[in-house]
């Protein structure tokens, strides 16, 4: 990243304005993509004026190309319950809207800018004259669908493709008569190619409640509104649940309906015949509930968590505006699940399941999803199991669930659960915040720090940043709340954990030939320099071999603990390309709780004749709990004569009352002697373990003034992880006649947690 001179000067001015001010740059260095701190002086001006003034004062930060004729237009201004104001602006270049070209300016109650997020285009090297017409773009979209539909929208935009190139594109929205959400296409305005596509049809997942009378007409016939009641149980359930959901958002966050403008909550029940679905219809601004088929589903309006889920989709359609595909679509589902669970639980969260009241009613213990344990219903709870589209593959509702969004949503769902309830997941411990703080963080992050001027492809990483920024606004960034959010996301493989945890990943490619029928085999080492306690371990092994039934593969820790990963199994199969984790290799639990620092060895042995192979590569990924370090220094200066030719020698003992686990030891001795080859030094720990530091080496050299260290001397490395408290003794003996000396003193310096 290379900043221009003007950018360096502008960033210098901004950073010197406050000790907490920080700037995060785009990879290209063209855009300051996020700025945080106290970024402007207090002001009594209106929010739009403050936002525009901030951008004008810092315009040199943004290295826009000279030919970019840019206009920014305010798309929304929201005031939250803490009195902060959030201004969202949309970018236009040559009056063409930039898809995902949003700018956020966050202003506190004193009129100070405290955060700024920029997702603009810095340059647009593209021909602004379309060569593929609007009519042809609509035809191309319908041809891809395979049937005719109603064009809802078609307009030019600047679209950033997956390869980071910018295209002039037609954004086309098509509504099919049998679907409840528009299909969106981005068609290249020059060659007619399909750049991206997704559908807003969301599978399960003042008041007005209608009935469709088991037809598919919307909104249908009005049955009741406001405080009226109905003898139709499904109508009444939808009506009552809508009030509960509205009251939850009003009382908890001060939000007046899904759009915060008091719009009525419109719902239609009895939609279709045996319809196993419920959804938010963005086009008609209403919720729709099927009656279910009586086997897989009961009427979906009965379930408060499902009504809450669908209402949350209505909120996201006004705020984050998720593209309903890939990670963005998974986030849309995860936020809807999270708030559905919050709404359905009164007080402490005792039920983390979604839809259990109406889903498969005759199957006990079944539910649609479980946020506490996504794997219970086949969803991932960590990025290790994230499902990707293949290169060049587009989201498709029939072939890949629009980018596996209903599968991958398990990951952010688990992060939300950990934020509330805490727990240890993949080796990272989260101190849960409880529902009150967590739901405030998630709501503010969703509605303000993920607010967008256009439909946007939000990522899990961006959702994590939004939650952290919301937490910073509400509770600061130095306390347990901020650490909990960081650790919750890190526990599912998104971002780094808080300071007490670290994720260490190292790999090597030794390409070592494995000798045939040699039990000693070959070994490869990975040095871990970081200190800490192992909580989670993944070992990746890549071995090329023509008969893996000959092989034994062992992992040895710095402390000498050994685990066999592969032991002469696999029959006639070729090659080992495997990932060993605690869940599929339980023996690895032997390493849990050990210190990670030191040399880890992988030993591969071929134990039979004829076949050969190569250790191509291997790696370690560790979740490590960092240790709060303390240091201790103690010494003695006894000035003791060392008796000549006397095995009992002299000794000095240091008593340590502090308790802790040793991370590092230095032992320094100061001895005068006329022949150090006569001397033996033994260091004895509280457990009685004897460690020989010096054993009649050095021949006729005079004096011994030296520091022995656990970093350099193997004999002291065995103390790493040992208990600190107790008596520590240094014994000095002269084991030959004629020469004498004096133990002037010795000291030990210990780093411990």
Residues labelled catalytic: 310, 406
* Residues linked to residue 729 through DSSP beta bridges, in sequence order: 653, 684
Q: Which two tokens stand for residue 42?
A: 């207090």
Distance (Å, whole) CA 487 – CA 495: 9
Residue in the block written with tokens 């599968």: 407
Distance in angstroms (rounded) separating the CA atoms of residues 87 and 99: 18
Distance between CA atoms of residues 679 and 190, nearest Å: 86
The residues, any chain, with a CB within 8 Å of residue 126's CB and separated by 6 or more, are: 158, 166, 167, 168
Q: What counts of helices (H) and strands (E) characterise the chain?
A: 12, 37
Q: What is the DSSP letter of 693?
A: E
- Rounded to the nearest 10°, the torsion over CA 320, 321, 327, 333 is 90
Distances in whole angstroms, Cα of residue 678 to Cα of each of 12, 516, 668: 64, 47, 19
Residues 553 and 537: their CA atoms lie apart, in Å, by 16
Q: Are 85 and 79 in contact (CB under 8 A)?
A: yes
Token pair, residue 520, equals 């000693």
Q: Which residue has the tokens 């006639």?
A: 572
Smallest Cα–Cα separation from 305: which of 252, 248, 254? 248
Element spanning 137, H or E = helix 134-145
The C-alpha atoms of residue 731 and residue 738 are separated, in whole angstroms, by 20
Q: What is the DSSP string of 179-236?
A: -SS-EEEEEETTT--EEEEEE-------EEEEE-TTS--SS-EEEEETT---S-HHHH
Instruction: Give 3-state DSSP helix, strand, coil % of the chain, rounded to 5.
Output: 25, 35, 40
Name residue 630's beta-bridge partners.
Answer: 752
Largest CA distance in the chain: 114
State how far the Cα of 341 lies from the Cα of 352, in Å rounded to an integer: 6
Q: What gap in Å lies between CA 650 and CA 671, rounded to an integer?
A: 12
Give the count of beta carbons closer than 10 Å to the beta carbon of residue 245: 26
Q: How many CA atoms lie within 13 A of 329 on its CB side?
A: 25
H-only helix segments in 555-705: none
Residue linked to tokens 């490869």: 524
β-sheet bridge partners, residue 267: 209, 287
Do 2 and 29 form a contact (C-beta atoms < 8 A)?
yes
| Residue in this structure with the two tokens 């398990």, named with its chain if needed | 410
Which of 541, 605, 591 is closest to 563 using CA atoms?
591
């Amino acid at each position: 990243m290379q900043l221009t001179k003007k950018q360096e000067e502008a960033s210098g001015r901004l950073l010197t304005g406050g000790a907490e001010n920080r700037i995060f740059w785009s990879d290209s260095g063209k855009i300051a993509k996020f700025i945080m701190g106290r970024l402007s002086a207090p002001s009594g001006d209106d929010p739009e004026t403050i936002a525009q003034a901030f951008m004008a004062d810092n315009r040199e930060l943004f290295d826009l190309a000279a030919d970019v004729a840019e206009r920014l237009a305010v798309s929304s201004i929201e005031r939250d319950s803490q009195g902060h104001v959030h201004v969202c602006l949309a970018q236009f270049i040559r009056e063409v809207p930039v898809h995902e070209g949003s700018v956020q300016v966050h202003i506190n109650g004193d009129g100070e800018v405290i955060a700024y997020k920029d997702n603009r285009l810095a340059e647009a090297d593209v021909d602004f004259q379309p060569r593929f017409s609007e009519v042809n773009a609509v035809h191309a979209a319908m041809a891809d669908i395979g049937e005719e539909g109603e064009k809802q929208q078609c307009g030019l935009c600047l679209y950033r493709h997956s390869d980071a190139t910018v295209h002039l594109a037609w954004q086309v929205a098509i509504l099919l008569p049998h679907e409840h959400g528009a299909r969106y296409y981005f068609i290249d305005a020059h060659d007619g190619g399909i750049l991206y596509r997704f559908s807003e049809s969301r599978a399960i997942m003042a008041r007005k409640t209608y009935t469709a009378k088991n037809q598919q007409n919307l909104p249908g016939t009005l049955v009741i509104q406001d405080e009226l009641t109905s003898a139709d149980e499904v109508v009444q359930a939808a009506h009552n649940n809508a009030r509960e959901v509205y009251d939850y958002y009003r009382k908890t966050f001060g939000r007046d309906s899904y759009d915060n403008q008091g719009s009525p909550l419109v719902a239609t029940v009895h939609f279709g015949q045996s319809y196993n679905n419920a959804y938010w219809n963005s086009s008609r601004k209403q919720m729709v509930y099927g009656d279910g088929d009586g086997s897989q589903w009961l009427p979906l309006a009965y379930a408060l968590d499902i009504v809450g889920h669908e209402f949350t989709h209505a909120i996201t359609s006004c705020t984050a505006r998720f593209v309903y595909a890939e990670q963005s679509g998974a986030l849309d589902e995860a936020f809807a699940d999270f708030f559905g669970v919050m709404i359905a639980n009164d007080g402490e969260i005792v039920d983390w399941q979604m839809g259990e009241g109406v889903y498969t009613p005759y199957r006990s213990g079944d539910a649609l999803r479980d946020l506490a344990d996504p794997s219970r219903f086949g969803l991932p709870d960590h990025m290790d199991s994230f499902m990707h589209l293949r290169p060049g593959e587009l989201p498709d509702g029939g072939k890949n669930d629009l980018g596996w969004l209903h599968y991958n949503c398990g990951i952010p769902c688990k992060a939300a659960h950990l934020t509330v309830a805490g727990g240890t997941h993949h080796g990272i411990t989260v101190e849960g915040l409880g529902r009150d703080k967590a739901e405030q963080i998630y709501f503010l992050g969703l509605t303000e720090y993920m607010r967008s001027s256009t439909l946007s492809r939000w990522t899990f990483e961006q959702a994590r940043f939004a939650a952290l920024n919301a937490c910073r606004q509400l509770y600061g960034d130095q306390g347990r709340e901020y650490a909990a959010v960081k650790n919750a996301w890190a526990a599912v493989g998104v971002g780094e954990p808080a300071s007490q945890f670290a994720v260490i990943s190292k790999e090597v490619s030794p390409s070592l030939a494995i000798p045939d029928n040699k039990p000693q085999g070959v070994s490869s080492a990975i040095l871990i320099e970081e200190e800490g306690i192992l909580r989670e371990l993944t070992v990746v092994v890549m071995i090329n071999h023509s008969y893996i039934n000959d092989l034994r593969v062992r992992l040895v820790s710095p402390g000498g603990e050994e685990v066999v990963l592969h032991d002469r199994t696999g029959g006639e199969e070729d090659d080992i390309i495997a990932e060993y984790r605690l869940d599929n290799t339980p023996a690895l639990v032997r390493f849990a709780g050990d210190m990670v620092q030191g040399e880890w060895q992988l030993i591969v042995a071929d134990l039979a004749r004829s076949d050969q192979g190569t250790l191509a590569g291997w790696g370690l990924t560790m979740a490590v709990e960092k240790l709060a370090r303390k240091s201790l220094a103690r010494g003695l200066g006894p000035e003791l004569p060392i008796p000549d030719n006397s095995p009992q020698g002299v000794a000095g003992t240091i008593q340590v009352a502090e308790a802790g686990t040793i991370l590092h030891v230095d032992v320094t001795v100061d001895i005068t002697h006329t022949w150090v080859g006569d001397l033996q030094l033994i260091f004895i720990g509280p457990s009685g373990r004897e460690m020989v530091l010096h054993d009649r080496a050095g021949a006729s050299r005079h004096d011994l003034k030296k520091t022995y260290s656990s970093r350099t001397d193997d004999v002291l490395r065995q103390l790493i992880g040992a208990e600190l408290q107790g008596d520590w003794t240094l014994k000095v003996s002269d084991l030959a006649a004629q020469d004498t000396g004096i133990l002037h003193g010795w000291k030990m310096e210990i780093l411990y947690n």
